[in-house]
């Protein structure tokens, strides 16, 4: 087994004061686990670096643990807190720029402010893109009011990691089943639905160079590509797109392996979208770095494919 050199894209920290936004899911974690998670989320030093070293991870792109300001009801405060968070992260990265990079937290409440903050983070703080925790107070981002944001993001040529969040309104289909409502299933439904809104809402037709990254093996989307095409052709509901739905999945929508360390699914995703659309990630500290690294180090793919997944694709997309 070779330990491949790796970049990882969905790796979280917690800025003091941001725990309050995360209560909805953190409250369900048992106290001992929570204590350990808290230590790992707060650490920018040996805890994190030692684990990276053991796994062959050269660089992690850090992001505030969700939902962050996506759950802040006050727009002005959301902007302020996003800036504080981004400045905090920039300061931590500056201590170890060889090992850490950053994804900006964005106040998506206001498309123009979000665009300005993204530009500031990229141009002044050297961030590599953004990580946005899904909807903001129930608003999705395919509407025309977000076009100025997408236009700026496309100009800046940086990706957005679209990370899960609780649905704005609980799903009836998960009523009485909190074990399914969050990370195990409901978050994936929420995030995949948001990404599909963007595809079918024409965002990638208007801004064809956008790159939106989905974790957790693409939240299931790679494996329904054929069905999207077939059902959209049968029932277009008045929507018209420049390409078949499947063609956005793997070009504008890219995926990471975070949280799904299973070889048949990895090989399937590569087969569906091509190897250039798949990138390694852990989802630190919620998932095991060791398990994620072992999974990819032993994956039944060609060396060049594994290099792309572990390092090359991320380096290209992040402009490293």
- The contact set with a copy of itself (CB under 8 A) reads 25, 28-29, 33, 135, 138, 140, 167-169, 171-174, 177-180, 182-185, 188-190, 192-194, 196-197, 200-201, 216-217, 220, 222-228, 230-232, 234-239, 245, 259-265, 267-272, 286-287
Identified catalytic residue from 43, 166, 283, 297? 283
CA 11 to chain centre: 9
* Of 71 and 89, CB closest to a copy of itself: 71
**Long-range Cβ contact pairs of 71-77 (< 8 A, separation 24 or more):** 71/21, 71/133, 71/137, 71/165, 72/21, 72/107, 72/109, 73/137, 75/107, 75/109, 75/110, 75/113
Helix axes 46-55, 31-42, angle to 10 degrees: 90
Closest approach, Cβ 128 to a copy of itself, in A, equals 25
* Of 30 and 98, CB closest to a copy of itself: 30
The Cα 22–Cα 17 span in angstroms is 10
* Of 213 and 269, CB closest to a copy of itself: 269
Closest approach, Cβ 97 to a copy of itself, in A, equals 31
The per-residue DSSP string of 104-157 comes to B---TTSHHHHHHHHHHHHHTT----EEE-S-BTTB-S-SGGGHHHHHHHHHHT
Closest approach, Cβ 174 to a copy of itself, in A, equals 6
Closest approach, Cβ 281 to a copy of itself, in A, equals 13
The residues facing 319 across adjacent strands are none
Q: Which two tokens stand for residue 210?
A: 């956008």
Specify the DSSP class assigned to residue 308.
I
* Of 56 and 220, CB closest to a copy of itself: 220
Specify the DSSP class assigned to residue 249.
B
Interacting residues of 303 by C-beta distance below 8 A, sequence separation 6+: none
Distances (CA, A) of 240 to 233, 243, 301: 10, 9, 37
Instruction: Answer for the pair 8, 281: CB distance below 8 angstroms, yes or no.
Output: yes
Active-site residue flag, 74: no
Residue 123 phi/psi, 5° resolution? Answer: -80, -40
* Of 113 and 190, CB closest to a copy of itself: 190
Closest approach, Cβ 254 to a copy of itself, in A, equals 16
Instruction: Answer for the pair 252, 211: CB distance below 8 angstroms, yes or no.
Output: yes
Closest approach, Cβ 192 to a copy of itself, in A, equals 8
* Of 83 and 216, CB closest to a copy of itself: 216
Which residues are known to be catalytic?
283
């Amino acid at each position: 087994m070779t330990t491949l050199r790796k970049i990882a894209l969905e790796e979280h920290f917690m800025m003091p004061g941001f725990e309050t936004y995360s209560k909805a899911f953190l409250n369900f974690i048992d106290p001992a686990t929570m204590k350990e998670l808290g230590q790992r989320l707060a650490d920018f030093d040996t805890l994190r670096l030692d684990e990276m070293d053991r796994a062959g991870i050269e660089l992690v792109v850090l992001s505030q643990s969700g939902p962050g300001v996506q759950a802040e009801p006050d727009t002005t405060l959301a902007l302020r807190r996003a800036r504080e968070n981004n400045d905090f992260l920039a300061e931590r990265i500056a201590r170890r720029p060889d090992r850490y990079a950053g994804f900006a937290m964005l106040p998506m409440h206001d498309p123009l402010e979000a665009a300005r903050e993204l530009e500031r983070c990229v141009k002044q703080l050297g961030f590599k893109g953004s990580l946005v925790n899904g909807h903001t107070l129930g608003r999705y981002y395919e509407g025309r009011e977000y076009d100025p944001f997408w236009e700026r993001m496309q100009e800046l040529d940086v990706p957005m990691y679209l990370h899960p969040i609780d649905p704005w309104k609980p799903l009836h289909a998960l009523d009485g089943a909190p074990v399914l409502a969050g990370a195990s299933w409901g978050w994936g439904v929420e995030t995949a639905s948001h990404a599909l809104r963007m595809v079918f809402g024409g965002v990638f037709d208007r801004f064809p160079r956008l790159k939106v990254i989905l974790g957790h093996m693409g939240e299931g989307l790679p494996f329904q590509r054929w069905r999207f095409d077939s059902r959209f052709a049968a029932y277009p509901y008045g929507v018209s797109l420049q390409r078949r739905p499947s063609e956005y999945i793997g070009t504008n929508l890219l995926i990471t392996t975070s949280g799904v360390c299973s070889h048949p699914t990895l090989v399937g995703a590569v087969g569906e979208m091509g190897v250039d659309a798949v990138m390694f990630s852990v989802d630190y500290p919620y998932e095991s770095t060791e398990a994620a690294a072992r999974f990819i180090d032993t994956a039944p793919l060609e060396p060049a494919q594994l290099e792309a997944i572990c390092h090359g694709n991320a380096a290209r997309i992040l402009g490293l």
